[in-house]
Each structure stands twice: as structure tokens, then as C-alpha cells.
Amino acid sequence: MTDTKPPLHLLIAAPRGFCAGVDRAIRIVELALERWGAPVYVRHEIVHNKFVVDSLKAKGAIFVKELDEVPDGVPVVFSAHGVPKAVPAKAAERGLTYVDATCPLVSKVHRQAERLVQQGRHILFVGHAGHPEVIGTFGQVPEGGMTLVETVEDAEMLAVADAGNLSFLTQTTLSVDDTAEIVATLRRRFPDIAVPRSEDICYATTNRQNAVKGIAERCDKLLVIGAPNSSNSLRLVEVSERCGTPARLVQRGPDVDFDWLGDARTVGLTAGASAPELLVREVVDALATRFDITEEQADGVQENMVFKLPAGLAA
């Protein structure tokens, strides 16, 4: 007599997984390896996903934390999160061949920061301390040109020297809802603050958060595939929990905690912008070892964004 697996309805969010900036960054490392051969050095994780990083290591990429760890005479790629201006300047000073894989939407924020400082404005930057994107953006302007704002409480407590010459920008991978609260607080406290012409939170972050909102209320639990250092993946967990649905971050299939799932009968599944679809299928397969799975693909926004490759690597 065989044991019958309990049924599990799996509600898979759309869109999910890789965004255009991640696709582009990974392709840049692959093309650099094709052009120059191994090793190609990469400053910081090209994107925040261990599976992706390990896959590129297997092809000959070497990941380092700082430019000082890159030997002379080898090419180096800068990660999708962006780097301070001092990094490419130092690479050029050393005569290194380098390729910048910064996501174009992050580069757009960098250009805005430069323009605002040139206009004499002080920037209030909404983001998470220590995140590579925040470090990279702060490194676009002279020291003291920006102040980090992480929470509504920060925004309420903020003291500024010249309230008439303020502006704000945001990290591209934040919670849309949390950021809206912080921005509303800044605009209330500083009515003359300059507002960006367009939203800094990127299309992929917004779409993935909306997709979770679209399925969370139908789910008993929700799994987010992503790395613990992936800002956009962590925000998806928070979005689900804000909707009242318990959520967990998992990196791969073996990370699924069946005790935590308990007697859930409908489980939501999504993936952060740096997690490949292959890992979605791996998690589905892991769930299928314990449950009789029925899959439902949620309706969602169709993403057609494609970013150009750097001229030196484009085919």
C-alpha cells in the first residue's frame, strides 16, 4: 500500500525572476570570458545570487571584494549594483581593461545625483546602509553631498542646514509602499524639496512586488527564491507579510522547510530579480517530493525590457 501525498496548490507569481539589468550583467561577464578568456575578475558579486555566481566561477570568473585584489593585466567587470566613481578612475590609472555592468536604471540615478549636486542641492537618499547600490550612488558625488534616509523615523528626525535646497533620490530595489511613506514624510516636512522627474524604484522591483500582492491573499504561505543579501528578494518577503501571508526566503530546492509549510494547501511562489527560472523549477521539484502538486501560473504584467550591451562587447 503506497502513501498518498497531500495535495498542494502552487500559485506561481508573474512576473518573477531575472530582470533586464541582471540578464545584461550576466551576459557581460560571459562575453568578457569569450573575448579575453579566463580569468576575468569581477568586483563584488555580479548579482546577488549564489547559484549565478557559482555558475560564472565555473566558467572562469573570479569574484573579489575590492579592486586591489585584481592583478595587473587582466580584465575586470564591475557589478550590476554600480560602483563609486573612484573605482573606474583607479582601474584606468592602473591601466586595467574594465567593463561596467551597472544596471542602466542605477546609472540613471547616478546621473541624477550628479546633476542635483551641480545645481547646489543636497540629496536625501532613501536606501539601506551598506548595500552596494547605496555605496555606489554616494560615490558619485562629493563627500557630504548626500544624507541617507532609511526609515520614516529617520525622515521625521532629519535636521538640514538649508531646507530650500533639498532633493531626494531612492535606491532602485526598495519596498514601493515603505518608500512612499518615507517620501510623503519628506515632502510634508520639506515642502520645497525637489522631486525626481520619474520613479527611481525600477520597473522589475515594482512589478514583482505587485505580483506578490496579487497572489498573497489566496495563499496560506509564500516562498520567495532569492539570496539573503538580495534587497529586492527581501522586500518580496515583506510585501507578502504585509498582506497577512507568512513568507520565507529560500535559495534553492533543498532549503524548503517542510515543517514551516505545515498543513498549507495553497502556497505562493516567486523569485527575486537575480534568481533564474531554473531555481523556480528546482523548488517546485522539491515540493513535489512531499506533495501532489497542482500548478497555477498567475496573470501578470508582460516585461519586454532589454538593455543594450556595452559597445566593446556587443556582437
Would you name the residues annotated as active-site residues? 133
Buried b (16+ CB within 10 A) or exposed e, 100-114: bbbbebbbbbbebbe
Task: Please tell me the distance from the alpha carbon of residue 169 to that of residue 152, in angstroms, as a whole number.
Answer: 15
Task: Please tell me the distance from the alpha carbon of residue 86 to that of residue 33, in angstroms, as a whole number.
Answer: 25
Kindly provide the residue ranges of all beta strands, DSSP E only, lying in the chain, ordered along the sequence.
Answer: 7-12, 40-43, 61-64, 76-78, 98-100, 122-126, 146-149, 166-170, 221-225, 247-250, 266-271, 292-297
Helix count and strand count (H, E) for the chain: 11, 12
Nearest to 19 by CA among 251, 209, 240: 209
Contact between 78 and 25 (Cβ < 8 Å): no
Give the HSE-up count for residue 105: Cα atoms under 13 Å, Cβ half-sphere: 21
Task: Please tell me the distance from the alpha carbon of residue 238 to that of residue 182, in angstroms, as a whole number.
Answer: 16
